[in-house]
Structure 1
Amino acid sequence: MEPARSYLNPRTWLALAQRDIAPIAGMLGIALLLLAFAEIADDVGEGDTRAFDTRLLLALRASDPADPIGPAWFEQSVADITALGGFAVLALVALLACGYLAVQRKWGGALMLLVATLGGTAISEGLKLGFNRPRPDLVAHVVETTSMSFPSGHAMLSAVTYLTLGALLAHTQEKRRLRGYILGAAILVTLLIGVSRIYLGVHWPTDVMAGWCLGAAWAMLCWSIATWLSRRTETSAS
C-alpha cells in the first residue's frame, strides 16, 4: 500500500507533472505561438490588417498625426523604454549575461543565450527582407528607423533576450513566488517595449504582435532544447 500512497503525495505528483507534463505543455505553447504568427503574417500579406492597424495607430494620436497623445514628458519616457529593445542595449545585456555565466562555468546557459539571441536576430532580419513591409506612413515617427517593418525587431528580440534571461534567473530560484516575479518582470518589459513602438509610430500594431509571438516561440524552443540536452547529459553521466 505504501507505493500507492506515495503517488498521492503532492510533492511526488508535482515532480511527475514537471517531468512529464511540462515538456508537452511547452511544445503546445510553441505551436500555438507559431500558428498565431502565421495567421498574422497571412493577414498582413493579404492586406486584411490595414483597417485594424490604422485605427489603433490614429487612436494614439491627437488631432495632429505628428503629436502622440499625452504630455511631452510621457513621450520622452516612452522613448526611453523603447531604447531597452534596441540592438545595442540587447547586445550589451546578452554579452554581459554570457560573460557572467561563463565566469561561473555555466557553459550550457551561456551557449543557449548566445544561440537564442543570434538566431533570433537572423530570423528577424530575414523575415523583414522577405515581407518587405514599409513602416507606417500615417503618422510621424518620433524616433529614427532604418529597417523594414514586419515583424518588429524590438518586440521579437526583446522577447527572445528578456524571456530567456528571465527563464535562466528563475531556474536558479527555489521559491515559486520569486520565480513567478522574475518571469512576470521579463514579460512586462517585453510588452512595454512592444507597445512603445506602436505609440512612437514606427510600427504597425500587427508588426509588434507578430514579433511577440515569434520571439516568445523562439525563446521557448531554445529553452526546451537546452533543457532536453541537459537532462540527456545527466542521464548519460548517471
Structure 2
Amino acid sequence: MDEHKKGEVTPHDPTVPADTIRLPERGFGIDRKKAIIAAAICWAGWAVVVYLVTNGLTGGFDQWGLMSYRTGEELGPRGPELVFESVRDVTALGGVFLRNLFAIAAVVALLFLKLRREAVIYALTVASGWLANTGMKLLVGRERPQIVPHLTEAGGESFPSGHSFSAAVVYIGMAIAFAALSRRHSVRYTVIGFAMVLSAMVAWSRVMLGVHFPSDVTAGWLGGAGWAFLAAALFYAPAKAAADSETVRKMDPSE
C-alpha cells in the first residue's frame, strides 16, 4: 500500500511550522487587595452561619434543603436515575482521592509551566486548608442529619462540611493559580468563577445525598473559598522567595 495514502508524512510533504507559545516565567501577580476583600466577605458570611447554627436558627432552611430532593413515603431521591448518578459523580470531586489527585496534578502542571511561585502558593493553600478545616470541625460539633435516609456513607462531625470546605480550597485555589497565565481580568474572573460554581455544586450534592444540612455546606463552602482567597494573598511573598530557592528549582521538572 502506498505510504502516502496511509496518512504518513513523506519527504515530499511540506513541513508544518510549529506554533510559538510564550508563557510567563513567573506568571502575572494576583491583586492581593481584591483577594483579601473576597476573603473578608466569605469569612463574614461564615461567621453569620456559625452564629445562626449555634443559636438554632437554621431549622427551616435545613429542613427545606434536605426535603427538596426527596419524594414519596420512603423519602427517596427525586427524578430519574441519571440525576442521582450525576449527584454522586459531582460529590466524588470533593472526595479525598480525586481532590488530592487533582491538587497534585495541578502542582506538577504549574511547575512544568515554570510557574513555581503559583505552585508553592497552591501547595501551601491546600496543606494549610486541611489544618483549618480540622480546627473548624472541632470548634462546632454537630451530628449528621437524620431527617432523610443517607444515600452515601459519611462519618465524623457534620459542621462544617469537609467536602464543601476542601472542594472550595482545592478548586478555587487551583483557579487562582492558573489565572496567573493571563493578564486579562475577564479571563481570570471567568476561570475563578467557574471554580466557585463547581465547588458550590460539590457542596450542595452533600445535601442532596442527605449527609449534611444546608447550613453545613454553606459554612463549609464559605470557609473554604475564604481560605483560598486569603492564602493567595498571605502566601504570596513567602512563595515568591521560595520559588527562587534551590530546593524548589530541583523539584521543577522543566529544568
TM-score (norm 2): 0.76
Alignment check: 8 A CA contact 2:62 2:213 kept: yes
Q: Which amino acid aligns with 1:198?
A: V
Alignment check: 8 A CA contact 2:119 2:177 kept: no
Is structure 2 residue 198 aligned with structure 1 residue 189?
yes
Two-structure CA RMSD over aligned residues (Å): 2.5
Alignment check: 8 A CA contact 1:139 1:201 kept: yes
- In 1, Cα distance between the equivalents of 2:109 and 2:38? 29
Q: Deviation string for 1:173-211 (max 9, x for gaps)?
A: 244443333223212211111111111111100111101
Q: 212, 217, 220: which one pairs with 1:208? A: 217
Q: 125, 128, 131: which one pairs with 2:140? A: 131
For residue 50 of structure 1, report the CA deviation from its aligned partner.
1.7
- In 2, Cα distance between the equivalents of 1:101 and 1:221? 20
Alignment check: 8 A CA contact 2:126 2:169 kept: yes
Q: Which amino acid aligns with 2:68?
A: A
Q: Which amino acid aligns with 1:192?
A: M
Alignment check: 8 A CA contact 1:57 1:204 kept: yes
For residue 89 of structure 1, report the CA deviation from its aligned partner.
0.8
For residue 103 of structure 1, report the CA deviation from its aligned partner.
4.1
Q: Which amino acid aligns with 2:155?
A: T
Bigger mean CA deviation after superposition, 178-187 or 161-170: 178-187
- In 2, Cα distance between the equivalents of 1:170 and 1:29? 16
Alignment check: 8 A CA contact 2:71 2:78 kept: yes
- In 2, Cα distance between the equivalents of 1:64 and 1:115? 47
Classify 1:190/1:112 alpha carbon distance in 2 versus 1 (closer, same or farther; 3 Å): same
2:110 aligned residue: 101
For residue 171 of structure 1, report the CA deviation from its aligned partner.
1.3
Q: Which amino acid aligns with 1:207?
A: D
2:179 aligned residue: 170
User: Gaps (5+ residues) in structure 1?
Assistant: 1-18, 234-238
Bigger mean CA deviation after superposition, 67-76 or 99-108: 99-108
Alignment check: 8 A CA contact 2:32 2:232 kept: no
For residue 65 of structure 1, report the CA deviation from its aligned partner.
4.7
For residue 25 of structure 1, report the CA deviation from its aligned partner.
3.6
1:5 aligned residue: none
Q: 111, 134, 151: which one pairs with 2:160? A: 151
- 3-state SS in 2 of match to 1:109: helix
For residue 225 of structure 1, report the CA deviation from its aligned partner.
2.1
- In 2, Cα distance between the equivalents of 1:219 and 1:213? 10
Alignment check: 8 A CA contact 1:61 1:69 kept: yes
- Percent identity reads 31
TM-score (norm 1): 0.81
Q: After the TM superposition, which residues 60-139 of structure 1 pair with which residues of structure 2 at under 5 Å, given as runs?
A: 60-139=69-148
- In 2, Cα distance between the equivalents of 1:112 and 1:224? 9
Higher relative contact order (CA 8 A, sep 6+): 2
2:23 aligned residue: none
Q: Of the two, which has the highest radius of gyration?
A: 2
2:35 aligned residue: 26
Alignment check: 8 A CA contact 2:124 2:235 kept: no
Classify 1:52/1:143 alpha carbon distance in 2 versus 1 (closer, same or farther; 3 Å): same
